[in-house]
Structure formats: structure tokens, C-alpha cells
């Protein structure tokens, strides 16, 4: 999620301020390990979800499962009644964590770019109001989720490009400035992500991509 990049940067600002270059390097290594561990766990969870879906649905011939409601109903006869409860709890915690990240990231972005803080109740209202409106209007939640992910993927290159630009400047980063090969590799990744985003937008709008299907 693009806003998570801003949030992570904001959270690191509240830690111990290094007194010299040696402490800066140590703190940077600690932050790198922390990110790798967090993303590693997140990656394992995503892989487990995809593996479960493939094992529970595809291998049993339930290839038509395309939304949360049908997935919930299909899990019960295949894996037992407890599976539906686990699925419910997983969705609940996923929604809570996403809401927390979105709210905190919004506060960090507002403070950083605008320079002021908004009340907690207003932050919560702004976070919850779009979802309430969508549910009240009876809009398909699965389609709405897909559109939201497309929007997030389109926005993702913007903070990535900004991050690459700032981390390659020695006047900003000092001893922690990115090496040239890291900058080149990051630019290549940004181009790949942007290209995939264009394909995603084209496909979402109804375009047919032969090599994707």
C-alpha cells in the first residue's frame, strides 16, 4: 500500500535519535531487519491464503468462487464449520489492521504536507464514512474492493519515485545515501511496477491482454 511507505517513515522518526554516523548505520541496519521480518511474515500469510484457496476450491472443482460470500459458503462443506469461523476472524483482523494503517498514515501525511493535526473523531469519520456510504448504497463490495486495489496500485509509483529521489541525494541522506546500483535497481523496479499498473488499468477497463488471458 502506498500510504504505508509514508507511515513507516513517520514511525521511525519517533525512535532514538543517533548521535553520530556509527549509530546511524546501526539504526539503519536494525530498521532493515525489522522491515524484512515484517514483510516476510506478511508474505508467508499471503502465500498461505493462496495455497488454501487453491487446495480448497480449485482442487475440489469449485472454480466459480469469486467473492467473499461464496467463499464463506463453500468453505463450510469442504473444511468443516470451524473453517468459516477462522475465515471470519481473519477478515475481521485484516479489516482492523487496514483501518489502523490507513488512519495513522493519513495523520502522518497531513502533518507532514499540511502541517496540522486533525481530531481523532474526525480521522475515524473520514476513514469509515466511504465504507458506510458504499454499504448503504448497496454497491457490490467485491467490485469496490477490486477498484480500490487498482487505485492503490496506480498511486504506488508516486511515493516510490519520491523515495528513490530523496534517498539518492547525499545532502539529505548523508552517510546513508543509496549506492548507485541500488538506485538503478530501484528505478528499474519502479518502471516494471508502472508498466504492470498500465496493464492492470487496461484489463480493468475491459481490455483483453492475450498473454494474460
**What is the number of other CB atoms lying within 10 angstroms of the CB of residue 32?**
10
Please state, in angstroms and rounded to a whole number, the distance separating the CA atoms of residues 92 and 1.
19
Angle at 133 (CA atoms; ends 157, 119), nearest 5 degrees: 70
Alpha carbons 201 and 196: distance in angstroms, whole number: 9
Query: Distance (Å, rounded) from C-alpha 132 to C-alpha 186?
Result: 38
* Domain residue ranges in the chain: 2-138, 156-213
- The angle subtended at Cα 201 by Cα 196 and Cα 207, nearest 5°, is 105
Q: How far apart, in whole angstroms, are the C-alpha atoms of residue 177 and residue 20?
A: 15
C-alpha cell at 122: 474526525
Please give the chain's pLDDT, 213 residues, in tens.
777 777 777 777 767 777 888 888 888 888 888 878 877 887 787 787 777 777 766 666 666 666 666 666 666 666 677 777 777 787 777 777 777 777 777 777 777 766 666 777 777 777 778 778 887 888 777 778 778 778 887 888 888 888 889 888 888 888 888 889 999 999 998 899 888 888 877 777 766 655 555
Sign of the dihedral through C-alpha 51, 55, 59, 60:
negative
Task: Judge contact between 197 and 157, C-beta under 8 A.
Answer: yes
Cβ(114)–Cβ(103) below 8 Å: no
* pTM of full prediction above 0.85: no
Amino acid at each position: 500500500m502506498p500510504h504505508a511507505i509514508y507511515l513507516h517513515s513517520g514511525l521511525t522518526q519517533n525512535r532514538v535519535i543517533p548521535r553520530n554516523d556509527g549509530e546511524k548505520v546501526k539504526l539503519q541496519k536494525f530498521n532493515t531487519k525489522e522491515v524484512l521480518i515484517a514483510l516476510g511474515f506478511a508474505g508467508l500469510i499471503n502465500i498461505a491464503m493462496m495455497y488454501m484457496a487453491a487446495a480448497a476450491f480449485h482442487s475440489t472443482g469449485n472454480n466459480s468462487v469469486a467473492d467473499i460470500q461464496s467463499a464463506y459458503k463453500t468453505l463450510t462443506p469442504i473444511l468443516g464449520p470451524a473453517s468459516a469461523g477462522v475465515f471470519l476472524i481473519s477478515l475481521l483482523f485484516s479489516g482492523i489492521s487496514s483501518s489502523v494503517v490507513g488512519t495513522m498514515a493519513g495523520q502522518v501525511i497531513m502533518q507532514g504536507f499540511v502541517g496540522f493535526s486533525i481530531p481523532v473523531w474526525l480521522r475515524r469519520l473520514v476513514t469509515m464514512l466511504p465504507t458506510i456510504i458504499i454499504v448503504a448504497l448497496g454497491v457490490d463490495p467485491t467490485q469496490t474492493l477490486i477498484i480500490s486495489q487498482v487505485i492503490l496500485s496506480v498511486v504506488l509509483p508516486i511515493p516510490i519515485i519520491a523515495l528513490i529521489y530523496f534517498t539518492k541525494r547525499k545532502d539529505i541522506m548523508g552517510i546513508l545515501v543509496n549506492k548507485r546500483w541500488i538506485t538503478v535497481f530501484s528505478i528499474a523496479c519502479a518502471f516494471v511496477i508502472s508498466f504492470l499498473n498500465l496493464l492492470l488499468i487496461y484489463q480493468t477497463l475491459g481490455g483483453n491482454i492475450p498473454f494474460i488471458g
